[in-house]
């Protein structure tokens, strides 16, 4: 049974920071494509960050809206993906989901259909 469990969400003020974690079980994230998505009420789900290690080395990609503020990383030994978020803005408020793409090789990094496994989400709320 594959499980992705997010944690680290919470409420912070504008300009604050949070570190989200995604612990995977029943699934090895090494050399796989992992991503963070987010969805705010009334809005569509959007891709936030991707970390790809399919080639044996990490490559990261970010949505323009979070570029320079968010950093995705992973610890293979802990089988955990992280999303470090700094300089948070009200627009960052959303439920954040971790997702895994076991066969993800598409050039469209945020193609949702590639992500077979999803976590339950962790809420991030930014107050202005």
Q: Express each pLDDT in 7-49 by its tens digit.
A: 999 999 999 999 999 999 999 999 899 999 999 999 999 999 9
Three-state helix/strand/coil letters over the chain: CCEEEEECCEEEECCCCEEEEEEEECCCCCCCEEEEEEECCCCCCEEEEEEECCCCCCEEEECCCCCCCEEEEEECCCCEEEEEECCCCHHHCEEEEEEEECCCCCCCCCCHHHCCEECCCEEEEEEC
The pLDDT assigned to 53 comes to 85
Mean pLDDT, residues 55-82 taken together: 94
């Amino acid at each position: 049974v594959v499980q992705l469990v997010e944690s680290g969400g919470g409420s912070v003020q504008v300009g604050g920071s949070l570190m989200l974690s995604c612990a995977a079980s029943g699934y090895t994230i090494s050399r796989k494509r992992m991503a963070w998505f987010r969805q705010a009420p009334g809005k569509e789900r959007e891709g936030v960050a991707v970390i790809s290690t399919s080639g044996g080395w990490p490559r990261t990609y970010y949505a323009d809206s979070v570029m320079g503020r968010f950093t995705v990383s992973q610890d293979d030994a802990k089988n955990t993906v992280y999303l470090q978020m700094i300089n948070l803005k009200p627009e960052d408020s959303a439920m954040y989901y971790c997702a895994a793409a076991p066969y993800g090789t598409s050039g469209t990094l945020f193609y949702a259909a590639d992500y077979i496994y999803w976590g339950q989400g962790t809420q991030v709320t930014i107050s202005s």
